[in-house]
Structure 1
Amino acid sequence: MMMNVQSRSIRIRSTTRVGHNKRLDSSDDQPVVKCARLSISTTTTTTTTTDATAAGDARQQQQQIAVLGTTPPPGSSSPPPPGGASRSPVSAAAGSVPVGGSHHHQGPSRIGPFLLLPLADRDGVHSAFNTDTGDELVCKVFDMGVYQEKIRAYGTLPPHDNVAPVRDIVLGERRAYVFRDKEHGDLHGLVKGCRRLDEAHARTLFRQVAGAVDHCHHHGLVLGDLKLRKFVFADEKRSHVRLESLEDCRVLEDPRSDAVSDTHGCPAYVSPEVLSGSAPYSGKMADMWSLGVMLYTMLVGRYPFHDPDPAALFSKIRRGQCCLPEGLSPGAKCLLHSLLRKEPGERLTAGQLLAHPWFRRALPPPQPLSQEAASGGEQEVGAADQAVPSFEVEDDDDLFC
């Protein structure tokens, strides 16, 4: 069977035997990259990365970069240019198709009709080329034991223009290969390149982000771990935003209750109630806090809560007080104040967010940010988030967002 998620129905093609076509070897498949899974403790966190030495060194250098627009240090990895990675398997297809025996292998591999090329900066993610149709896609690889849970939400959520659908699933003996549309960068990369967005541009993109979250909340999904990197562009012009995937979301068993206790998330986007350890908490309201962090970062070019000392960072988040630059319009300030509220019950819901006047009418252009606000001072945004000192972090998890 072949899975093509054009609607809520799912079809899957199993390729337990692929004839002479070669599949990715199990040693090629790495755990899905995500932020550290956190468990409450009173000890200081010791951060450990499990990447290869070169990648680890690059991330340690990137951790020192504060401003999103800063050029990475020499030797650090950077995302491939739009369309570049996904075309690589095509040029390699003329020769033999090797099966990679190491995750450092850069040659293409084959699974069913797809040629796969690992993306250097995203473990377990491959650029994919369908040799039957010529489609360029992105493939994420899961262990067979977890992939059904990872795609469960797609069976409950109706299609939405701002949620990336699953296009195909190919099942091997030990791995499931989930294919999605080709991406053209993400919001984090856009803000990093622009340093910050003007309000008109941010409004156009953030409206799509809010629409995706509202659609998920309305149909009983709590997203969790919301951040700029989770929203990708579906077009080369980078005007159409989509939620990258639903693999980290939680399907609510009781639509009337969104109480969750999971502490999975990126520190820069985590809400005060998650840090307090007072579980359970409202998953939807935690999502709304993360949306506030996203909008602030888009408009200002730095996270609302940042400090070189991790303990001080989380103290600021727990207090829930951040400074809004004078250059922002009154509507933007009002919206941010309505999302970044310490008390979850005082935050806007996703539906209320979309009804905010900042979205509904044209506003006068904001005044330029002050030099201090634009530079970010001590609260500049880094390419890597800080680790949470009040939680224990599993050694084999990626600490960076």
Structure 2
Amino acid sequence: MFAVEMSVCPVLASVPRESRLRALRVAACTSSSKRLETVESDEPPAKCPRLTDSPTDTGFLPSPGSPQPSSPRGTNCHPQGPLCTGNFLLMPIRDRQLVYRALNLLTGAEVQCKVFPLKHYQKKIETYMQLPWHRNITGIVEVIQGDSNAYVFFEKDYGDMHSYVRSCKRLGEEEAARLFRQITGAVSHCHQSSIVLGDLKLRKFVFADKERTQLRLESLEDAHIMKENNDSLSDKHGCPAYVSPEILNTTGAYSGRSADVWSLGVMLYTLLVGRYPFHDSDPSALFSKIRRGQYCIPDHVSPKARCLIRSLLRKEPSERLTAEEILLHPWFEAASNPGCADQDLSSNDQLVPDVPQNSDNIDSFFC
């Protein structure tokens, strides 16, 4: 049996879509390129710790499959079992409240549905409506209004980057470059459209195909729409592993774009290394490391990848590359053409070694 919301009124959302932005050209990186850090001496000599299980009160979000805290009574705006609205059968997704797999009963097509209280849903989808279409950002397919809820339908996905990196431990540079280019392209498109993402992390990027070659930014509900291109934010919400030093250090406003770029640096490091650049089971110690910019890069990471990581994970926000500038970094071309990689590395150094079987469990540290 499944629940049926009464008096459901279908309304198609006319989501304006503009033509794609012209692809950014990948240019060669020279020693004078803007804020590209290539000096090796700024890397702390301390050994990089492996991720370990954290206490439940450390502020880290649980890994996929971990028990989720129950919502306060009265906050759920819909039944937890299957339900039917319009032409769609909605089936709950485990560990994802207010999100359903949606099957079109007329066409058999599968999409994803997010349920919002009717009085709040327009604010929730405002960012989607403003943002021009981009191939690496999920778009709204349809909106159906019920008596008390709004059902917003999105394109289907095939798993998220969070789970993928957990299963792979870390990625080779060629694959990491291909996926990170798509991630950065989505963020750059948002920034150019006066949107700051805020709580940016791997989990928010999902695969658009079964082959796991095409990524999309899945969630814009936490994004901020800038006014008159002013990206100043004071919001402190976010995953501890991705938070930037200025958010921890300042009591006032900070640059939302620069904070997003820091999060991109954390994501790139995690793709290539298989663990977060900043980690400690004690939250205060973790935040202290982030404030100091204390991290290390393993030897297997190529010089150009090191250069890019250091150009993003810089304590001073103004010294970081912009999202648009990241796309011009030579690492993307070098990683896509291993034969043209840095000459000071041997062929063995180009291989990413397997994670030792006795390495600490990293599951609970991925947001």
Scaled by the length of structure 2, the TM-score of the pair is 0.76
Q: Could you report, residue by residue, the CA deviation over 1:161-196 in whole angstroms, capped at 9, with x for unpaired residues?
A: 000101011111211111101110011111011110
Counterpart position of 1:208? 182
Alignment of 1:279-298 (within 5 A): 279-298=252-271
Aligned pair partner of 2:241 in 268, 285, 305: 268
Number of residue pairs the alignment of both structures matches: 302
Say if 2:101 and 2:111, in contact at 8 Å, map to a contact too.
yes
Counterpart position of 1:127? 101
Counterpart position of 2:150? 176
Residue 5 of structure 1: CA displacement?
3.2
Cα 1:122–1:384, aligned 2, differ >3 Å: closer, same or farther? farther
Q: 2:53, 2:280 → 1: CA distance?
A: 15
Deviating beyond 4 angstroms after TM superposition, the runs of 4 or more aligned structure 1 residues are 61-65, 75-78, 100-104, 368-371, 373-378
Say if 1:184 and 1:235, in contact at 8 Å, map to a contact too.
yes
Report the 3-state secondary structure (helix = DSSP H, G, I; strand = E; otherwise coil) of the residue aligned with 2:185: helix
Counterpart position of 1:146? 120
Alignment of 1:250-399 (within 5 A): 250-255=224-229, 257-361=230-334, 362-363=337-338, 364=341, 366-368=349-351, 381-384=362-365
1:157 aligns with 2:141: no
Q: 2:85, 2:53 → 1: CA distance?
A: 34
Say if 2:77 and 2:116, in contact at 8 Å, map to a contact too.
no
Counterpart position of 2:12? 2
Report the 3-state secondary structure (helix = DSSP H, G, I; strand = E; otherwise coil) of the residue aligned with 2:165: helix
Q: 1:140, 1:173 → 2: CA distance?
A: 16
Residue 145 of structure 1: CA displacement?
2.3
Say if 1:4 and 1:167, in contact at 8 Å, map to a contact too.
no
Note the residue ranges of structure 1 that are not aligned, 5 or more in a row.
Answer: 9-60, 66-71, 79-99, 386-400
C-alpha RMSD of matched pairs (Å): 2.8
Report the 3-state secondary structure (helix = DSSP H, G, I; strand = E; otherwise coil) of the residue aligned with 1:273: helix
Q: 1:376, 1:334 → 2: CA distance?
A: 30
Amino acid corresponding to residue 227 of structure 1 in structure 2: K
Note the residue ranges of structure 2 that are not aligned, 5 or more in a row.
Answer: 1-10, 19-51, 57-62, 69-75, 342-346
1:224 aligns with 2:206: no
Cα 1:312–1:62, aligned 2, differ >3 Å: closer, same or farther? closer
Residue 155 of structure 1: CA displacement?
2.2
Counterpart position of 1:194? 168
Q: Could you report, residue by residue, the CA deviation over 1:51-106 in whole angstroms, capped at 9, with x for unpaired residues?
A: xxxxxxxxxx97569xxxxxx89x8569xxxxxxxxxxxxxxxxxxxxx998553x
Cα 1:2–1:343, aligned 2, differ >3 Å: closer, same or farther? same
Counterpart position of 1:244? 218
Report the 3-state secondary structure (helix = DSSP H, G, I; strand = E; otherwise coil) of the residue aligned with 2:203: helix
The percentage of counterpart residues that share the same residue type is: 51
Cα 1:264–1:64, aligned 2, differ >3 Å: closer, same or farther? closer
Counterpart position of 1:25? none
Scaled by the length of structure 1, the TM-score of the pair is 0.70
Compare 357-366 and 145-154 and name the one that shifted more: 357-366
Say if 1:116 and 1:128, in contact at 8 Å, map to a contact too.
yes
Say if 2:142 and 2:152, in contact at 8 Å, map to a contact too.
yes
Residue 146 of structure 1: CA displacement?
1.8
Residue 7 of structure 1: CA displacement?
1.9
Residue 143 of structure 1: CA displacement?
1.1
Counterpart position of 1:23? none
Report the 3-state secondary structure (helix = DSSP H, G, I; strand = E; otherwise coil) of the residue aligned with 2:150: strand
Cα 1:280–1:102, aligned 2, differ >3 Å: closer, same or farther? closer
